[in-house]
A = this chain, B = another copy of it.
């Protein structure tokens, strides 16, 4: 087979990542040993958590090693196999990394059915982002019909699923997103009750107007001012699923000003990492898959073309330039 390309971490970012932090390499296709298989990756998933792995600072997960293939979720097809559980042609999802080909011993690799669900959806609504939404909503927020949810980064892969799943439970869903186009999509296409444009300059007042009965649950992806605005509207005994803080992935401090609300409203807040709750995945993925197949859970993808486009797409993701799930199409 012809050589393939991969992207390695060349250097750790200081502040915002740049294209220089990555290096494109050409690699020979390895020979298979018994128990191994080779996957041709069709899609690479780009996710905000990757920014944390690029730093050396202590986090919940090990740092990405320098000069190694960048970690990342992938969906692809088995093109060679000496593994008893995988055959050539199987559609698979796993953590192949930023690379066109992945040699695997099957660990963490999952065969998926693409007859009713597109392969790429297994990296989004029926994958880690979807499960993140499902877990935070069903295991942390546990809202009742009629209550109000606020979710930031509402047009993103996680946020869009959170709001739609909440609506299916009879919860009022209020999104926060950047710009009128994303907000219109969140309301008109995804069916949220309202969406506040944090770039419009009236975040606190607009959110108050969008959540006239107050906020009972916050699904927080951004932190910073967006989180403060939501906390300022919380009702007593509100709950917060703290999922991400895109606003602070470059290492800067993002002070939270509404600390008082945490006490005053007797709020329960939980930070979580969905990969630590794998016991929930079978149930969650089954539900998400059914909803996607039945067109009850919609999603949007921003697709960059070709592996060399991955660094710029990733940098754009951290700045909110994507619209929906950010993917890189590799084939």
Contacts and interface: CB of A to CB of B under 8 A. Distances in A.
Contacts of A265: 60, 271
Contact of A269 (B223, B245, B269): B269
Interface string A208-249: 000000000000000100010000000010000011110010
Contacts of A259: 223, 227, 245, 248, 254-256
A284 to B, nearest CB: 18
A242 B242 CA distance: 17
Q: Among the interface residues A58, A243, A257, A270, which one has the most CB atoms of the partner chain B within 10 A?
A: A270
Nearest to A61: B264
Copies of this chain in its oligomeric complex: 2
A267 B242 CA distance: 9
Contact of A266 (B263, B264, B267, B276): B276
A185 B273 CA distance: 41
B266 A272 contact: yes
A267 B271 contact: yes
A296 interface: no
A262 interface: yes
A262 B266 contact: no
A267 B270 contact: yes
Instruction: Name the interface size band of chain A.
Output: 20 to 34
A218 to B, nearest CB: 13
A59 interface: yes
A271 B263 contact: yes
A236 to B, nearest CB: 7
A267 B260 CA distance: 18
Contact of A248 (B60, B236, B255, B260): B260
A253 interface: yes
A219 B243 CA distance: 23
Contacts of A236: 60
Nearest to A240: B269
A290 interface: no
A54 to B, nearest CB: 15
Interface in A258-294: 259-260, 262-273, 276
Nearest to A269: B269
Interface in A157-204: none
Contacts of A223: 259
B242 A262 contact: yes
A171 B59 CA distance: 26
A234 to B, nearest CB: 10
A265 B265 CA distance: 23
A267 B262 CA distance: 14
Contacts of A58: 264
A179 B53 CA distance: 41
Contacts of A260: 245, 248, 253-254
11 contacts: A60-B236, A244-B263, A256-B256, A262-B269, A266-B272, A266-B276, A267-B270, A267-B271, A268-B268, A268-B269, A268-B271
